[in-house]
Structure 1
Amino acid sequence: MNDARPRKRSLTLHGHRTSVSLEDAFWIAFVDLARRRQMSVNALAAQIDRERGISAGLASAIRVAVLRDLQAAAKV
């Protein structure tokens, strides 16, 4: 497995299909974050999509959400 190579996956946001490319390490952490929040991956992606700034792409917003979650966990 090459963690540095982005992998494209399909998500459904607000009733529409879209694809997002993330590195495997981010996909794993993103799925884990959704599980811990007791949300589906699509629901968490939709929440992040609603909260992201217009200048941020969805993949970048997901990476930032994952990073912030990991940073918060490290402070506990």
Structure 2
Amino acid sequence: MSRPRKHSLTIGGHRTSVSLEDDFWAGLREIAVERGQGINEIATEIDAARDRETGLATAMRLFVLRHYRDRAMGL
């Protein structure tokens, strides 16, 4: 298991940093490639869709989890 690693992102024209474990960063990169998008684009979508009481890092982890869970269930 890896410790969270901080990466800089641009969301809505603003720079921010998010700390996620390597497996989540890898998952986000894989999803980005599948969708033909960049990580910043996906992060912007996640940010826009999240409940404001949910932190961005948590929302990103849940996004990756849901993506692979849905795939495993054939959705």
TM-score range, shorter chain: over 0.9
Deviations 1:23-52 (A, max 9, x none): 000000011111111111000000000000
Runs of at least 4 residues off by over 6 Å? none
CA distance in 2, matches of 1:72, 1:29: 14
Identity %: 47
- Give the structure 2 partner of residue 43 of structure 1: 41
CA distance in 2, matches of 1:10, 1:42: 9
Provide TM-score, normalisation by structure 2. 0.95
Structure 2 gap segments, 5+ residues each: none
CA distance in 2, matches of 1:60, 1:35: 21
CA RMSD of aligned residues (A): 0.7
The amino acid that maps onto 1:70 is: Y
The count of corresponding residues between Structure 1 and Structure 2 is: 74
The amino acid that maps onto 1:48 is: I
Structure 1 gap segments, 5+ residues each: none
Provide TM-score, normalisation by structure 1. 0.93
- Give the structure 2 partner of residue 29 of structure 1: 27
CA distance in 1, matches of 2:58, 2:2: 15
Is 2:73 the counterpart of 1:71?
no
CA distance in 1, matches of 2:47, 2:3: 23
